[in-house]
């Protein structure tokens, strides 16, 4: 039996991963360590909360004392590190929290895990650390880091610390960098759930700039499967890009969702562009395919259809969050990643 420590398991990708892992590895023990910021929702993993091999611990990844206590109490074999401040717009208005959680928090977790003999550490990062692409080309694992937003810079900082822990101490860290995820349990400040939830309420849908920024979209379940591969077979010290092979402009995504919901395009409202808005991200995920045999299962069309259906049926999950988002972000924004 393996004991896995998952950080940020009450967030979007983390909670999907908790559910994915518990269903596929029912004998493993899983500790979900999460601070429950505005982005954390224990309801997302409620269906496994009763299991004896699941434990939720509320805590901060930057709190070394709490982490030391936890790892002394319960030896952990592997860590999957999702916990982060993750919203680009928030990083533009309040960058400090991003440095604290993403940089200091990652270093604190790496150090504690190293001191407690953790045998594998997957650090979950983002394509945004590579900066922006022109009309063509793809990010590979060798693309130099050139982050543009405070969020991306804080993630790049955490990637460099993860790398340094491998190079300096031989600590078995693996870094994954994925493109924009979508799917169930994503906080409605991000593009896809924002569009779905606003359109369901016949509210206008803000789109940044000309709407032609390009992102690669990865269904969260495909991402979870990629992390499983990396955790089980990845080579320590390596970086693996994870992409959905689904490049779309933001406006294409918005229009597909409106069409799926049978809502008019007149709901779209173009708003002033995000500061420093990266134009295009696209991933070369061939290393993960070639070396670990992973590939995404969802086409954007099928993934979006399922996601729209999920949000349409789960207002109980996102309705209360929408009220909070409205209070925290009173100005119309056009979130994206
Ligand atoms: P999220 O914002 O939905 O969830 C983050 C979780 O981390 C929340 O549950 C929050 O409570 C928790 N958290 C925040 N600060 C913490 C702290 N100091 N200590 C402990 N827990 C804390 O994020 P997400 O979209 O699920 O992203 C997860 C990871 O994947 C992040 O590291 C992010 O950078 C990366 N990533 C996300 C995407 C995406 O499209 N969502 C794309 C690429 C990479």
Residue 310 lies in a domain: yes
Q: Would you say the CB of residue 154 lies under 6 angstroms from ligand 1?
A: no
Q: Is 228 in the same domain as 193?
A: no
Could you give the C-alpha distances from 254 to 23, 48, 184, 307, in angstroms and in order?
32, 33, 17, 13
Annotated catalytic residues are 127-128, 151
- CATH number, domain of 324, equals 3.90.25.10
ipTM over 0.95: yes
Q: Would you say the CB of residue 321 lies under 6 angstroms from ligand 1?
A: no
**Chain centroid, CA 287 distance in Å:** 20
Q: Would you say the CB of residue 5 lies under 6 angstroms from ligand 1?
A: no
Instruction: Band the pLDDT of 135: cuts 50, 70, 90.
Output: confident
Q: What is the pLDDT of residues 208-256, one digit of tens each?
A: 999 999 999 999 999 999 999 999 999 999 999 999 999 999 999 999 9
Residue from 17, 82, 224 whose mutation best tests the ligand 1 pocket (most atoms within 8 A of CB): 82
Q: Would you say the CB of residue 183 lies under 6 angstroms from ligand 1?
A: no
Mean pLDDT, to the nearest integer, of 274-297?
93
Ligand 1 geometric centre to CA of 333 (Å): 20
Q: Is 135 in the same domain as 198?
A: no
Residue 282 lies in a domain: no
Mean pLDDT, to the nearest integer, of 281-303?
95
Q: Is 198 in the same domain as 320?
A: yes
pTM of the entire predicted model: 0.95
Q: Whose CA is nearest to atom 19 of ligand 1?
A: 60
Percent of the chain with pLDDT over 90: 90
Tokens of 144: 């130099």
Domain that holds residue 258: 186-215+246-276+299-328
Residue 99 lies in a domain: yes
The pLDDT value given to residue 247: 94
């Amino acid at each position: 039996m393996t004991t896995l420590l998952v950080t940020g398991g009450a967030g979007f990708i983390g909670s999907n991963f908790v559910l994915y892992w518990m269903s596929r590895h029912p004998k493993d023990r899983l500790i979900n360590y999460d601070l429950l910021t505005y982005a954390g929702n224990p309801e997302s993993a409620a269906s496994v909360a009763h299991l004896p091999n699941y434990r939720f611990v509320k805590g901060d990844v930057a709190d070394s004392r709490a982490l030391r206590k936890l790892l002394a109490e319960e030896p952990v074999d592997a860590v999957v590190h999702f916990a982060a401040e993750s919203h680009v717009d928030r990083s533009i208005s309040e960058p400090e929290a991003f440095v604290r959680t993403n940089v200091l928090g990652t270093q604190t977790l790496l150090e504690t895990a190293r001191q407690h003999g953790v045998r594998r550490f997957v650090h979950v990062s983002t394509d945004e650390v590579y900066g922006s692409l022109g009309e063509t080309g793809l990010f590979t694992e060798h693309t130099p880091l050139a982050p543009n937003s405070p969020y991306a810079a804080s993630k790049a900082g955490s990637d460099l610390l993860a790398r340094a822990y491998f190079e300096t101490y031989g600590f078995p860290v693996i870094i994954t960098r994925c493109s924009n995820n979508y799917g169930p349990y994503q906080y409605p400040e991000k593009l896809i759930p924002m569009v779905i939830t606003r359109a369901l309420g016949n509210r206008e849908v803000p789109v940044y700039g000309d709407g032609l920024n390009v992102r690669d979209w990865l269904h969260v379940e495909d991402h979870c499967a990629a992390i499983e591969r990396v955790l089980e077979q990845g080579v320590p010290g390596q970086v693996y890009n994870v992409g959905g092979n689904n490049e779309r402009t933001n406006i294409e995504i918005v229009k597909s969702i409106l069409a799926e919901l049978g809502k008019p395009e007149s709901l779209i409202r173009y708003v002033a562009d995000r500061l420093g808005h990266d134009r295009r991200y696209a991933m070369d995920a061939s290393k993960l395919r070639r070396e670990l045999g992973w590939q995404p299962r969802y086409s954007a069309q099928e993934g979006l259809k399922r996601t729209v259906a999920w949000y349409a049926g789960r207002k109980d999950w996102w309705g209360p969050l929408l009220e909070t988002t409205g209070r925290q972000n009173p100005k119309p924004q056009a979130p994206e990643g």
